[in-house]
Each structure stands twice: as structure tokens, then as C-alpha cells.
Amino acid sequence: MSFRHFCSLLLVLLAAGAEASTLVYNVSGYTMDQGKRVSFAALEFEEGVVTRLYPDAGSVASSSAEERIDGGGATLLPGLIDAHGHVTSHGRALRAVDLVGSVSEMDAAARVKRFVERNADQEWIRGRGWNQVLWPGKQFPDRAALDKASAGKAVALERIDGHAMWANSQALKLAGIDADTADPEGGQIIRDETGRATGVLIDNAMDMVYQVMPPVTDDDMANYALTAMQDLASLGVTSVHDAGISAQEVRAFQSLRVDDKMPIRIYAMLSVLDPANDAYLKMGPLLDPARMLDIRSVKISADGALGSRGAALFKDYSDMPGQKGLLLVNDEQLDRHIDRSMAAGYQVNIHAIGTKANARVLDFLENLIDKHDSRGLRHRNEHSQIVRPEDIPRFADIGVVASIQPTHATSDKNMAGDRLGEARLAGAYAWRKLLDGGAHLAGGSDFPVESANPFFGLHAAVTRQDRNNQPPGGWLPSEKLNRDETLSLFTEWAAWSAHQEDVIGRLLPGYAADFILVRDNYFTVPEQDIWKNRVLGTWVAGKQVYKAP
């Protein structure tokens, strides 16, 4: 389908039928407006756009809305925006082996065995979510456990962060990986003391297995995307910044958009490593008139993840001397991808976790922002996770958004000190320092690496604790954000980071009627209970896309 045809069909959709005005009343309503909290008792919208807020119950009598929705005393918030997730990966994970929370290598293998028994027709078994840091001994697993569980089928299981894979012998055989296989650039094949490949592959080494997997069809991809978006709507997420999509994923989203099947909004980052995306770059930013599917940014990964020791550091890992992490693209490649993306008018969003990766990304962005005079594109550092203190002011100085994921801190707190040592924690997950230093922040989850539930992220940002309220007082508590800042993080600030601050992220007249009704009042519930909130209903552009059973 041509992009012109795509836009023509969108205009037809936009022109379809007028809607009556609707009043949502009997609510405790809140929105953030440039950092200030606005309260209201009712909200009115028409044609998918907010037309009026009613400050108190008494003023609601003046409404002439034709349709009325009784909120039943629930809390009404702006639809939450996840500024960094992976939509089709989430949809795929919902249909694969769930290893999140597995307590040992044997527990994970047992889950695989049960899945194999229930899915005898599948020749490849996919899964994700294992985390050896939570297992006894904290050691990477071995393929032998999977060989016993897989009944001869090929098995490929992604680590919780997506930067490592645990594969069985059949998968390694199909990929041609043995004791003599060299590590690829930007990747590592984990081996035992005899040189035997253990089945764990780090970063670019995973590609050898991906390349021999059965191809995913366009229909498969669209189904993954739709499954994920429906799940996200049930969690109160009304917009996602999809961090690094292939041309096939672009086609999947476009087909769903043309068929008016997208329940939530997508702000897409093109993966520059997919050559098929070059055609979209040449077209320039692709903006949907209804802002349901905007494609105006790119994603580049500079390094790996902390849990797999792939995050690129200046100095050795404290718990593994001689290991400094992995740079996934060399300087020439990084320069070329940033340069051509800026030249095409695209926002550049770069994954950077380790100190070296963050400094390197800021260096390249600073130089190329000057070259292209592109500060107005609001380029982003995705994760901004372990930053040297001297690099923190640079975010504001060169106008780079710090796109953060609060639940990463509460998930990583048990191993970050081991990996980094105490001194390097001064710039770790340093949200308060970044914000007070003048940086723009945007909040996300990095699902399916973390849970897609945005209330987990709201809780983590406010408390710096896990959902067991540990540690007391919070981990590195000086980096906490307050409740107003945190709601802005997942609404108006996330919208700003996607050039959508005039359309979504606030519930004010003229803004899209993207809102959620939730059980608990976010501003009055005890902070340790923020994560327990439940979504009662979700609306996007005035259309209800989820209703709780």
C-alpha cells in the first residue's frame, strides 16, 4: 500500500459521522498542566475532543451534553503514555512461555516442559522473562536443562531485558553454533571452561538464532500488535512510543490503522538497522492527521543491558574484572545512522545504559545536533541509566530528553551495586538530578522487559521501592520524584517528547479525550499502594476501548 493511499483512507475515517457530546460526571478528576495539578468533578467531550471541565459538582448542572456517563465516584486521569515499550514483542510474549518470576533454572525449564506438552504443534518454542540474578548462585543457565524439557524441539528464551538468549542444543545446531564459532561483533557466545557453548547468547550473538527461526508473516505481526494493544488498553495505557520497529511492523500498524482496529495510539521509532526502513526515512516523518499512528523517530541501540553485563562502562564491572560491556555499533556506524536520520527530519532516540554508552551518545548527538541545527527535533537518550555525574548537566545543555523507566531501578537494585560498586551509583537511575538539572524527562516501562502496568512505574518513581515495599525508605531515595512530577512523567512530559503536547497528555479543552477511570485516587492512596490500582475503563479519542469485567 502506498503512503498516499494510506493517508486517503485515514481522511475517510476522520470524516465518518458526528458524535453527540458526552459528559463524564461523579468523578475525582485530575490532569497536569505544565507541572500544575488541575482538579475537576466532570469532563465533557465531543467528536473525541475535550470541550469543558467542570470544577465542582454544582457546576455540572449547566451541562447540556446529550450522553452522560456516571463515573461512580471513581478517579479520572489522563490516559497514561508509555514512552518506551515494544508492542509486538509484548503481543508475542503473551502467546509464549512466561518465565517472569521463575525462581531457578529448573523452575524455568519446568515451565518450558509444560508449554511444550500443551503446544505439541509448535516446532520452535519461544519465551522470555528469565533472570538469573534472581536464582540461587546468580549464574547463567545451561542448555542441558532445556534439552531435557524440550522433546527435541528448538527452544529460544529471551532474558528479561531482551539482551541475552538461552537456547537449547537443537536451536544452536540449527544456527550453526558450536565450540568453534567465533563471537560476532557486538555479541558474545557464553562458553564453559572447555570452550563448549552453554546456550546463552549475548546481544548480537542472538541474531544467529533469530535468522534460522520460521519467518513471521505480516498477519502474525498484526495479530501480535493487536493482542498487545488490547492488553495495554486494559492497563490504562492510551499511547505507546514503540522503541525500534521493523518495516514489517510498520506495515502491521498501517494495516490495523486503515481498518480502524487500533485501540490505542502508537508513536513509532523506526529501527535504522532494518534496511527496508530506509524507504520510510526518505519519505520524511509520516504523521497521522488523527495522531493515532505517528512515525517520526528512529531507534538506535548503543550498548547492551546491565543484567547481562552488556552495558558499556568506562571501567570494568565490579563483579567481573576484565569485562566492560558491549558497544553494539561502532563509531562510524553510529555517526552515519544519526546523521542520515537527522538529515531526513527524524527525531533520534538512542538506547544507552552504561556510563561509556551514555557519554558516547551525548558526544555524537551534540556534534550532529550542531551540524543539522536539529535541537528542535527533541532527540532522546533511551534509558539514561548509568550516567557519570559530570554528564548529567549535558542533557539540558544540548537539549536531549532523558527517557527513563522507573521500574528498572526497582528491578535492578539487587544487582546494580554488585555490577557497579558504590561510587558509580551516584549517577545511577538519577531522575531527580536529571530533572533538577533542567533535563526534559519522559516515562515508560520498557515492556515486556518490565511489566506493562503503568501503575508499577508510578509507584517506583514515587517510592524507589519494589512492590514488597523494599528497601525501607527507598533505594537511593534522594532520586525520588513526587506524585505530580510522576503523573506528568507519564502524561504531558511523555507527550512533549513525541511532539504531541498540543494533542494528548492533558485533559483540557481542545485536547483529545484520552482518559481512564481507576478505582483508587492516585493522589490520596498511601504511596506504597499506588501499584495496586485497577483500571475500570479506558477511552481514546472519546471512544471506550476497554471496560473492566
Q: How many CB atoms lie within 10 A of CB 33?
A: 14
Rounded average pLDDT over 15-36: 87
- Hey, how many other C-beta atoms are within 10 angstroms of the C-beta on 437? 15
Q: Single out the residue of 457, 547, 537, 543 nearest to residue 27, CA to CA.
A: 537
- pLDDT tens digits along 81-90: 999 999 999 9
Name 19's bridge partners.
none
Cell 458526528: give the residue: 18
Is the pLDDT at 5 greater than 90, yes or no?
no
Distance CA 294, CA 296 (A): 6
3-state secondary structure 24-85: EECCEEEEEECCEEEEECEEEEECCEEEEEECCHHHHHHCCCCEEEECCCCEEEECEEEEEE
pLDDT class of 434 with cuts at 50, 70, 90: very high
pLDDT value for 123: 87
In whole angstroms, what is the distance from residue 235 CA to residue 345 CA? 33
Predicted structure pTM score: 0.86
Distance CA 294, CA 464 (A): 32
Judged against a pLDDT cut of 80, whether residue 13 lies above it is answered with no
- Per the CB < 8 A criterion, the answer to whether 326 and 186 are in contact is yes
Q: How confident is the model at residue 4 (pLDDT cuts 50, 70, 90)?
A: very low
C-alpha cell at 328: 553494539
- Phi–psi pair at 299, nearest 5 degrees: -125, 135
* CATH numbers and ranges of domains, the chain: 104-210 (3.10.310.70), 237-506 (3.20.20.140)
Q: Does residue 19 carry a pLDDT above 80?
A: no
Q: Indicate the SS3 state at residue 444.
A: coil
The residue written with cell numbers 465542582 in the block is: 56
HSE at residue 398, side-chain half, CA atoms within 13 A, is 24
Query: Could you report the per-residue pLDDT of 146-195, keeping only the tens digit for each?
Result: 999 999 999 999 998 888 999 999 999 999 999 999 999 999 999 999 99
Burial of residue 246 (number of CB atoms within 10 Å: 0-12, 13-18, 19+): middle
